Structure 1
Amino acid sequence: MTEILTPRLLLRRWQEDDLVPLSEINGDPDVMRWIGDGSVRGLDETAEDIDRWEEEWDDEGFGLFAVELLGSGELIGAVGLTVPEYLPEVYPNIEITWRLGRQYWGQGYASEAAQATLEFALQDRGLDRVVAVNRAGNDESENVIRKLGMVLERDTTHPEHGYLLQIHSIDLTEYEA
């Protein structure tokens, strides 16, 4: 089983008891406003998300991790790698993404988890390049992207929803520099 320990977090594969806490995160309009069409996701949609992420682990050797606080074992969100099927123009690049419960924002958890995931991507999984796709105006995610050392590559439009997206990237040589 793939796990990553950081000073405060455990990044791990999904378990059955993660469904309810993740659906509570997905049910928060403030969390979901930057994702897809901005709609909240219920229990059934959250179960579909977890199933899709686990399938990606099986098929690709990477996926989204469940993010757990080390001290309490509490699920605080998801972070990981995914094939950005919704945005074919960045293919074959792999996207790093994260989603944390609102009560965990502003504490450095997203940056800590994303940094560990980026290292996993470039050093453990042998990826040469990773992208981050950020909806314009999502300053909190933009801050995490900057902390990862990723640079703005270009702007594009979401093919389904029509809003502005910013494509950031980092390659192995930039990461190691």
Structure 2
Amino acid sequence: MTEIRTPRLLLRRWHDDDLAPMADINAEPRVMHWIDDGSVRDLDQTAEAIERAEEEWDEEGFGLFAVELLASGELAGFTGLSVPEFLPEVLPAVAITWRLGSQFWGQGYASEAAQATMEFALQDRGLDRLISINRVGDEASENVIRKLDMVPECVTAHPVHGYPLRVYSIDLTQYQA
């Protein structure tokens, strides 16, 4: 089982008891505002998303980690890697992504988890490049991306909703520099 410990977080595979707290996170309008059409997700949609994440682990050798606070054992959300099939113009690619409940914002957890995930991708999994896809205007995610030293690569449009997306990237040589 793949786990990563950071000073404050445990990044791990999903447990059955993660469903309810992740569904609560996905039900927050503030959390979902910048994702797809901004709609919140219910328990069934969350269960399907976790199932897809676990399948990606089995198929690709990477996926979305549940992010647990070491101090309390609380589920804060997720971070991890996925193939962004919804955006074919960037393929082949692996994207780093994250989603935390709003009560966990502004404390550096997203950056801490994303940095550990980037190291996992580029060193443990042997990927030579990562991207991040961010909806233009989502400043909180832009801040995390800047902390990861990713560089802007292009701007494109969401294929369904039409809003602008900025694609960032980092390759292994940039990461090691």
Normalised-by-shorter TM-score class: over 0.9
* Aligned match of 2:105: 105
* Aligned match of 2:10: 10
Residue 91 of structure 1 pairs with residue 54 of structure 2: no
Q: Distance in 1 between matches of 2:127 and 2:89?
A: 18
Q: Distance in 2 between matches of 1:86 and 1:38?
A: 16
* Aligned match of 2:141: 141
Residue 57 of structure 1 pairs with residue 52 of structure 2: no
* Aligned match of 1:123: 123
Query: Helix, strand or coil: the match of 2:81?
Result: strand
After TM superposition, the structure 1 = structure 2 runs for residues 65-84 of structure 1, keeping only pairs within 5 Å, are 65-84=65-84
**What percentage of aligned pairs have identical amino acids?**
71
Q: Distance in 2 between matches of 1:91 and 1:154?
A: 13
Q: Which amino acid aligns with 1:140?
A: A
Query: Helix, strand or coil: the match of 1:155?
Result: strand
Unaligned ranges ≥5, structure 2: none
Unaligned ranges ≥5, structure 1: none
Q: Which amino acid aligns with 2:39?
A: S
- Under a length normalisation based on structure 2, what TM-score does the superposition of the two structures give? 0.99
Runs of 4+ in 1 over 3 A off after TM superposition: none
Q: Distance in 1 between matches of 2:128 and 2:37?
A: 30
Once the two structures are TM-superposed, the CA of residue 133 in structure 1 deviates from its matched residue by 0.1
Q: Distance in 2 between matches of 1:80 and 1:50?
A: 12
Q: Distance in 1 between matches of 2:6 and 2:88?
A: 32
Q: Distance in 1 between matches of 2:38 and 2:126?
A: 33
Q: Distance in 1 between matches of 2:78 and 2:49?
A: 11
Aligned residues: 177
Per-residue CA deviation, residues 84-125 of structure 1 (Å, 9 max, x unaligned), is 011011111100000000000000000000000000000000
Once the two structures are TM-superposed, the CA of residue 24 in structure 1 deviates from its matched residue by 0.2
Once the two structures are TM-superposed, the CA of residue 36 in structure 1 deviates from its matched residue by 1.0
- Under a length normalisation based on structure 1, what TM-score does the superposition of the two structures give? 0.99
Once the two structures are TM-superposed, the CA of residue 37 in structure 1 deviates from its matched residue by 1.1
